Structure 1
Amino acid sequence: MLVLQSITITTPKGRVLLRDLSFSVQQGDKLAIIGEEGNGKSTLCKLIADPRILLESFVVEGNIQRDQLPIAYLPQQLDESELSRPIQDFMMRDETGNVDYGKFAEVKRWLGKFNVLPDDHRFEEPLCNFSGGERIKIQLARLMTMRPGLLVLDEPTNDLDIPTLKWLENFIISSELPILFVSHDETLLTRCANRILHLEQTEKKAVPLWTYVSMGYVAYKDARSLHLQRQTSLSRKQKMEYDRQIEKWRQIYQKVEHAQATISRQDPAGARLLKKKIKNLKAVKERIDGEEKIKKPDPEEAVTLYFNDHEDVYAQRCLLDDELGELRIKDRCLAHHLELKVFGKARIGIIGNNGSGKSTYLDHLYRSACRKGTRVAYMPQNYERLLSDDQSPVEYLTITGTKEEKTSIMTYLGNLKFTEEEMRQPIANCSQGQKAKILLTSLVFSDADLLILDEPTRNLSPLTLPVIETMLKMYHGAMIAVSHDRRFLRNLTSQRFLFDVNGLHDITSDERILE
């Protein structure tokens, strides 16, 4: 179906994103591409979908072989011109710009199959009027009318609520087409992937690595963990052996050097012998240093982030006591009869349909907590609301400007795999995953007793999520989080609410929602 041979992609600035990448996609493959933001996942998807997209700005080497059937591509984000197009125009306009009305029956069939068939009058509405889940279904319906041989889906899970995530899982699993997809959703990866392509950037992002395996996500995670443990153990043993040899060499060298310094001038033969020994010892040192070293692994999951020790908030302390008759945007009522009380170390998760108003509600709760006098920190879904594009990560995180604070900030960012160059570059140049890490670091420095988080894991590699989970589990205060990440909700929330137009509904006891 699709074969890539020795693909190397280099950015305009000379950074190698991918080197000598080779793999194939065959019938029945559900290939998941994983890795941190900025490692080349979307770039690879674009190359597979249409090499012309990349050739204008990247240097691409290698060969791609594909069948004659079209490759259908769902981008990570549609541009504004696409979002503003009416559904009818979006679904039926071909590459030449003409609307093919002959496709109308097939378009309606696929929209109906995906349970997103709009009323006739809504065919004239722009795509931006539909929810995130509806947009994904509409885009997939459009792709299926192309009768493709391969689907390439770049982050299709972004902005999806849990029901639509489950629908997407069923679509991927049941589809007869081979599907290549990028996702950070661990539950979807676990259920859908039967092949894994893992893209990494190691050694301060100077050395790209890739791993392709014919196994599911959980099996790959386990195999990778075992491999990293073995490599770490071998590296440690080799380092111990190296230190032992160097110490032995040093002791011998010092003895010979001392003998050379104290030998009598009346013993020239002995001096020549000692000089020869020194030369031989230096050769031994070069041989020891020249032996191939087993590198200590530098995996993407080797990140650290933690809150400083802090006394836990009293269980009876009320951090938020909010009642809201109506939640509105302009003249639209999003929800009414909203009540929420937060005490001590509460861990509250909120779910709900796309576009229902959850983010607007979190904005309200943040303001309410501030009015109450609670020390609160907020991580919005739209990072640009807090981050300034022209500031560097270090500048954004700086409060006092002391040398000690700067050192602490750079240490935290370094532990999150930021290079020094990335710490000092404008935030505008950072990936979405890096922006998420900057905001998570700001939570650590905030000294807040209440965290309000809007989709905190949506741009993070699934392999780094255990670190974030551990960080939040150890947090001394309370947390309110809107999330559709089922692993996050299972592992980190003890209370869960469904948000809809009638308010908040306690669904903590209904574990089926998180299946």
Structure 2
Amino acid sequence: MLVLKNITIKTLKGRTLLNDCSFSLNKNDRLAIIGEEGNGKSTLCKLIAGVDDIHKDFIVSGDVICDHARIGYLPQHLSDKQYQQDVFSFLIQDPTDADYDILPQFEKQMSKFDMSFQPEDYNRSLSSFSGGEKIKIQMAKLLTEDPLVLVLDEPTNDLDLDALRWLEDFILKSSIPLIYVSHDSVLLAKTANRILHLEQTQRKQVPLWTLESIGFEEYLAKRTHRIQRQESLAKKQKSEMDAQMEKWRQIYQKVEHRQNTISRQDPHGGQLLKKKMKNVKAVKRRIDKVEKIKNPDPEEAVEIFFDQVESMPSSKVIFSDQLESLYIGKRLLSSNLHLQIVGPARIGIFGSNGCGKSTYLRYIDQKMSELNVSHYMMVQDYSEKLDVTKSAVDFLTKDKTKEEKSEIMTYLGSLKFTEQEMISPIESLSLGQRAKVILVDMVRSKVDCLILDEPTRNLSPLTMPVVESMFKQFHGAILAVSHDRHFLTHVCDKHYLFTQEGLRFIENFDIN
């Protein structure tokens, strides 16, 4: 159905994202592409789907053997123009030369997706639908084209929990082989039966790709075992070589001492020592030529943490508020919103798309500022927080001292930023890298409360354990809106459903 042969992808600046990658996709395959931000996952999806503009930004060699007309491609983002289109125009691009039979097929697919679609909905713009509804409309359109393969780039972005469960069910039941990119570790664990891992190693100088026909969790376990084994072998070899070098130094020093002290009346002895020294140096050259087992430096081995501060008293009330009505414009979103944040609370809020969760967090942010509550807010749209024309180092710099710059570069380096990425404009960085810049800013902010709006949405599932540990270690309180089920389960200890009637406490939160 789909074959890739010797695919190599390079940026116009010469950085290799993928080198000599080959694989085939077969019936019943659910191939998940994973890797850190900016490693070429979306670029590979575009190449497979036959998106023409990829060649404007990348140099590509190798062959993709498939019928591009039969590839159903869900892009990571639609254009602003597409979002403003009504559904009819989105489905029927050219009314003068269109197959109107796709409309009943589209409606049939929408009914299979348990989404009521009325005739008047054809006149609604795509932007007026929720995140989950937008994905269902795009998927229904793709399926009317009878694709042989589906390529889905970040389909979980902007989906609420109900939509995520729907997508998992769709992937598992699909008779069409799929390739998809996702940062949702729960979805990956439940659905993937093959893994393609794209990596950039050795300070992003050497690309690697790994293909395994196993599930996500099994792949992680196998990878962890491989890394631990390599670490063990590297440690053992270093210990053995250190012992060899110590023995060699002792012999070398002994021979050198005898050379320095031998009498000139013993030329034969001198010749023997000279020969001995030659042999000793030959042994050193052989030791130096032994191929060293490198300590693994996995791309996801990042480090970030808050300073160790005494945990906040569990009875301290950080913030308390009662909001009678929450509006956006003239639309009432919710009523009777009561929130109290006490001690080092970890509060997770979830709910359907468009119900007002982000609007509520902005209200909380404003109220905390008015009350001088020490806090930091991470918004969904990073451009609200970041000056993207500045470099990461310049954005994070406050005092402009050498010591501060060194500290900032250490933080960024521990998150696998290259020096070039540290000093390049933030607008040239991937969304995941921008999220990491905000995390560094957050860690250095020295506050007592974090307000987080979808904090994990652009971070690799391989990096998330470190980020989750960072949040767990935070001394103060966390108030987060998230649809990341792993984050909600492993970081948050209190869960609230955002409804029109206010925040409803969920006593036993279950990701299923």
Instruction: Note the C-alpha offset of 1:241.
Output: 1.4
Instruction: Note the C-alpha offset of 1:360.
Output: 1.3
Instruction: Note the C-alpha offset of 1:441.
Output: 1.6
2:301 alignment partner AA: A
Tell me the SS of whatever aligns to 1:446.
Answer: coil
> In the alignment, which residue of structure 2 is the partner of 1:325?
324
CA contact (8 A) 2:348 2:496 kept: yes
> In the alignment, which residue of structure 1 is the partner of 2:126?
127
Q: CA RMSD in A?
A: 1.8
Matched ranges for 1:199-348 at <5 A: 199-348=198-347
CA contact (8 A) 1:6 1:21 kept: yes
> In the alignment, which residue of structure 2 is the partner of 1:179?
178
Equivalents in 2 of 1:18, 1:5: separation in Å?
Answer: 12
Matched ranges for 1:18-417 at <5 A: 18-50=18-50, 52-66=52-66, 70-93=70-93, 98-417=97-416
> In the alignment, which residue of structure 1 is the partner of 2:10?
10
Equivalents in 2 of 1:479, 1:4: separation in Å?
Answer: 45
Tell me the SS of whatever aligns to 2:120.
Answer: helix
Equivalents in 1 of 2:357, 2:98: separation in Å?
Answer: 37
Instruction: Note the C-alpha offset of 1:129.
Output: 1.3
Equivalents in 1 of 2:96, 2:132: separation in Å?
Answer: 26
Deviates more, 1:197-206 or 1:415-424: 415-424
Equivalents in 2 of 1:187, 1:454: separation in Å?
Answer: 19
Tell me the SS of whatever aligns to 1:462.
Answer: coil
Cα-to-partner distance string for 1:12-51 (whole Å, 9 max, x where unaligned):
0100100111111100001111111111100110110006
Tell me the SS of whatever aligns to 1:342.
Answer: strand
Cα-to-partner distance string for 1:380-427 (whole Å, 9 max, x where unaligned):
111111111122212222222233222222222111111122112111
2:288 alignment partner AA: D
Equivalents in 2 of 1:351, 1:239: separation in Å?
Answer: 50
Equivalents in 1 of 2:338, 2:99: separation in Å?
Answer: 51
With normalisation by structure 2, the TM-score equals 0.96
2:37 alignment partner AA: E
Tell me the SS of whatever aligns to 1:328.
Answer: strand
Deviates more, 1:292-301 or 1:149-158: 292-301
With normalisation by structure 1, the TM-score equals 0.95
CA contact (8 A) 1:4 1:22 kept: yes
2:80 alignment partner AA: E
Uncovered stretches (5+) of structure 2, i.e. residues with no partner: none
CA contact (8 A) 2:346 2:493 kept: yes
Cα-to-partner distance string for 1:99-120 (whole Å, 9 max, x where unaligned):
4323221122222222334332
Deviates more, 1:268-277 or 1:109-118: 268-277
Determine if the alignment matches structure 1 residue 430 to structure 2 residue 429. yes
Instruction: Note the C-alpha offset of 1:467.
Output: 0.9
Cα distance, 1:428–1:475 mapped onto 2, change above 3 Å: same
Tell me the SS of whatever aligns to 1:476.
Answer: coil
CA contact (8 A) 2:50 2:68 kept: no
Instruction: Note the C-alpha offset of 1:267.
Output: 4.3
Equivalents in 2 of 1:51, 1:264: separation in Å?
Answer: 82
Equivalents in 1 of 2:133, 2:371: separation in Å?
Answer: 38
Determine if the alignment matches structure 1 residue 475 to structure 2 residue 474. yes
CA contact (8 A) 1:47 1:53 kept: no
Equivalents in 2 of 1:436, 1:252: separation in Å?
Answer: 55
> In the alignment, which residue of structure 1 is the partner of 2:445?
446
1:65 alignment partner AA: I
Instruction: Note the C-alpha offset of 1:280.
Output: 3.1
CA contact (8 A) 2:36 2:300 kept: no
Equivalents in 1 of 2:411, 2:157: separation in Å?
Answer: 27
Instruction: Note the C-alpha offset of 1:97.
Output: 8.6
Instruction: Note the C-alpha offset of 1:276.
Output: 3.7
Aligned length: 512
Cα distance, 1:51–1:355 mapped onto 2, change above 3 Å: closer
Tell me the SS of whatever aligns to 1:283.
Answer: helix
Instruction: Note the C-alpha offset of 1:67.
Output: 5.2
Runs of 4+ in 1 over 6 A off after TM superposition: none
Equivalents in 2 of 1:17, 1:359: separation in Å?
Answer: 35
Instruction: Note the C-alpha offset of 1:255.
Output: 2.6
Equivalents in 1 of 2:281, 2:459: separation in Å?
Answer: 49
Tell me the SS of whatever aligns to 1:228.
Answer: helix
1:328 alignment partner AA: Y
Instruction: Note the C-alpha offset of 1:428.
Output: 1.0
CA contact (8 A) 2:4 2:64 kept: yes
2:225 alignment partner AA: L
Deviates more, 1:4-13 or 1:476-485: 4-13
Uncovered stretches (5+) of structure 1, i.e. residues with no partner: none
Equivalents in 2 of 1:20, 1:394: separation in Å?
Answer: 35
Equivalents in 2 of 1:225, 1:206: separation in Å?
Answer: 22
